[in-house]
Amino acid sequence: MLCRPDLTRTAPPGMLSRALDNARAWRDAQPSSHEEPAACASSKSMPRLPPQVQEEMTEEKLATLPPELLVKHPLQNPWTLWYYENDKSRTWEQNQVEIITVNSVEDFWSTYNYIETASNLKHGTDYSLFKQGVKPMWEDSKNRNGGRWLISLDRSDKQRRERLLDVYWLDVMLLMIGEGFGDAGETVCGAVVNIRNKGDKIAIWTGDAKRAEEITKIGQRLKEVLNINPKITIGYQAHSDTMVKSGSIAKNRYVV
């Protein structure tokens, strides 16, 4: 078991971790990048709801279900999903659209199954999932002094990108809503996936770039859950540096 988000206070143990295991099993079952492209599954084949839930639910069937299956399992924090699309007639901030806030495991999956997967979004768009009340922008008071762990995905390897993007993004969302960072999770504000021609990016934003201990724990956990090769390093940049960067990447404040 590579990831077991702590939902013991909010949902039946194992509920999200099973979902995460499914996603990881799917990823592990995919051919490695040197195999034939034809053998590579599209993001559409990713497991979503368990088959018994996908089956049509009639009133009679619902009446036979044990009560615990009809109760929604609240998340420790409500999370808001945002979508960004680059419309040049509007400001960057106006282009951030709030989609929905989810409060329960079930609402998260309903939303996830309804919306387009990240790999099917147009270039120049973003999804952001942030704690309710925190806007996915540097200017928000909860983000202003913070920064982000940044994972850049290599676009030159198309098969690998298609395989990893959706799984990484789902893993990151499950890790956050499942409160999988332990005490350090209190400093997590949200996460963003940027769909870009030059290379997609996934980042976890935290609220205070000076909290080295929590930031390091979050980075290490992220690498562990995404199964990133320990020899590969990822960097954390303060938003204050990203805002004024001149090259394509701001300097790293931390590296794991």
Among 42, 85, 87, 92, binds ligand MGP (CB under 6 A): 92
Binding mask 229-248 for ligand MGP (x = CB under 6 A): -------------------x
Which part of the chain contacts ligand MGP (CB under 6 A), choosing from 12-20, 98-106, 133-141, 223-231? 133-141
- Cα separation, 154 vs 163, whole angstroms: 12
Please name the amino acid found at residue 129.
L
251 binds ligand MGP (CB under 6 A): no
* Dihedral Cα 211, 216, 221, 223, nearest 10 deg: 130
- Cα separation, 211 vs 35, whole angstroms: 43
Reference 151, options 192, 187, 118; nearest CA is 192
Minimal CB distance residue for ligand MGP: 137
144 binds ligand MGP (CB under 6 A): no
- Cα separation, 176 vs 188, whole angstroms: 8
Bridge partner list, 125: 85, 195
89 binds ligand MGP (CB under 6 A): no
Cβ of residue 149: shortest distance to ligand MGP, in angstroms? Answer: 14
CB-nearer residue toward ligand MGP: 139 or 154: 139
- Cα separation, 61 vs 63, whole angstroms: 5
Among 78, 115, 138, 160, binds ligand MGP (CB under 6 A): 138
Enumerate binding residues for ligand MGP (CB under 6 A): 92-93, 137-139, 194, 196, 248
